[in-house]
Structure formats: structure tokens, C-alpha cells
Amino acid sequence: MIRIEHISKRFKKLQVLDDITVEFEKGQVISLIGPNGSGKTTLIKSILGMVKPNSGKIFVNEQIIDTDPSYRKIIGYMPQIGRYPDNMKIGQLFSMLKQIRKTETSQTDEELIKKFKLEKIFEKPMRTLSGGTRQKVSAAIAFLFDPAILILDEPTAGLDPLASEILKEKIIAEKKKDKLILITSHILSDLDEITTHVMYMQEGKMQFIKDIGTLQEETGELRLGKAIARIMKGDVINSNWIDKMFEPKNDEKIY
């Protein structure tokens, strides 16, 4: 569904994405994992067209995204921090989005609106909301138009345990519908029941993408957090990407 070919992005002197080539298919739940500043959010925003790479190409359903922004209608996006008009009420926000999409044939999915009980606070202006409630609104918007692709950036950050569980159950339900789901999260325990594949990034480079079973076998760890911790410590010596990390650069001498 998404094909990325040799994309790179530089902000002044900082190389944020470095020659990323990867393909994501429907039915996969890809956990994008890496240290802060590894390029995860920039990669997501490049797919969404919010950041323009300096080089390379991105395709969604074999359509290059530079030529026609209409591909976004099949993507549901939950940002890490949702920003909305301060004076707009919650109910007005959902009404506006439905009005914008009124020509679309897709049916709306309001399950999260109901499970988060957002109808009860439809009259509240966005400026009065806590961070957790904003997250609930962002989650409900991401799923609202039943998109084939979901991109969720730190989806459980700021959510209380009940809301976090509701969201995880929703993600699992959408996974069963054969959708493509991309998730970034620093709370790796939230990803254990969800993930089918892990893409690990560091310093703008994709170090590997592996299915969860292979990762568990190579690390000897069933829990994703412990598996990634072992990799970051360099305990997993049979991963090809580790060898690459220690390859000398062109201007380095080997003694």
C-alpha cells in the first residue's frame, strides 16, 4: 500500500532521513521505533505530504504522492499533539469534518466518539480541553472515515488507562479488517498485542524491518520492550544492521 524509495530529508545541516527504502502492505501493523530524533515523525509527515523530502519517491497504492493529494482520503492520521481552533466546540469540529467529506461515499465510524463519551462534551470549546481529552478527539477523528491506512503518532500518550485500553482494542479490531497501521510509541508495552512488524530507525537511517516473530526469535525475548532494549545494548550479534553500525566511515582509518 505504501512504497518508499530512497527518500532523504535534510534540515539545514541535520540529516533527518537518510536514503530510506521500505514497503508496507495491508494487514500489517508496523511499529516505528527508535530514539528521539531518529526520524520517525519526519517519515510519517513525509508520507502525509506535510514534509517534502529532498530526494526520493513515495507511492500510496502505486500513486506517487507528489502529483495528487487525493490519496490522503484513505489515510486516518492521529498526531502526537492535535492542534484545533481554540474557540471551536468539539461537536462543531466533527460536524465540519463530516461536511468537508459530504461528497464521499464512505460511512463514518463513530465508535470511539461513543466509547470515549465525547457526545457529552460536544459543547466544550477546544481551548478548555485537557491534553488527554484532546488525544481522545484526535483518535476519534483518525478513525472517523473508516480509512484503509491509519497513521498513529504516540497514540496513547496522555491517555488514562481506560482510554488507552479502549484505543488499543480499536486498533486490534481495525487490524482484523486487513488495514495498514503505522504506529510510533515510546510506550513499547502498548505495542505487544498489536504489532506484526517492527521498523527500527536510528539517526535517520532504517536499521531493520522485521516481523515480530523473527525479532522475538533473534533476541530470545517475547516482550517488544525487552527485545528492543537488547538490540540497543548490542546484545543481538546476529543482526546485519549492527555490523553496518560499526562499519568505518570513508574518512576513518582502520588500525
**Domain at 16, CATH number:** 3.40.50.300
Cβ contacts of residue 112 below 8 Å, gap of 6+?
A: 118, 136, 139, 140, 143, 166, 167, 170
Average pLDDT per consecutive 10 residues, the chain (255 residues; last block may be shorter): 97 95 96 92 95 96 91 94 93 93 72 97 96 96 96 94 96 95 91 93 94 93 91 63 42 37
The CA angle 110-145-131, to the nearest 5 degrees, is: 65
Backbone angles phi, psi at 105, to 5 degrees: -90, -10
| Range 175-191 burial, b when 16+ CB lie within 10 A, else e | beeebbbbbbbeebebb
Query: Looking at residue 235, what is its pLDDT?
Result: 67
Task: Give the CA count within 13 Å in the CB-facing half-sphere of 208.
Answer: 20
Q: Is 253 among the domain residues?
A: no
Let me know the angle formed at the C-alpha of 220 by 216 and 221, rounded to the nearest 5 degrees: 65
Per-residue CA distances from 77 to 12, 50, 139, 142 (Å): 27, 12, 8, 5
172 contact partners, CB below 8 Å, separation of at least 6: 193, 194
DSSP conformational letter for 82:
-
**What b/e string do you get for 90-116 counting C-beta neighbours within 10 Å, with b at 16 or more?**
beebbeeeeeeeeeeeeeebeebbebb
Whole-prediction pTM: 0.88
Write the single-letter amino acid at 252. Answer: E
How far are the Cα atoms of 48, 62, 66, 149, 198 from residue 59, in angstroms, in the given order?
A: 11, 5, 9, 13, 20
Residue 221 placed within a domain? yes
Q: Which residues contact 81 (CB under 8 A, 6 or more apart)?
A: 134
Give the C-alpha separation, 4 to 14, whole Å: 21
The SS3 assignment for 197 reads strand
pLDDT number for residue 133? 96
What DSSP designation does 180 have? E
Q: What is the pLDDT of residue 186?
A: 84
Task: Give the per-residue pLDDT at 100.
Answer: 86
**Domain hosting residue 142, numbered range:** 2-245
Task: State the pLDDT at residue 236.
Answer: 63
Torsion sign over Cα 233, 42, 68, 138: positive
Q: How many domains does the chain have?
A: 1
Residue 254: inside a domain, yes or no?
no
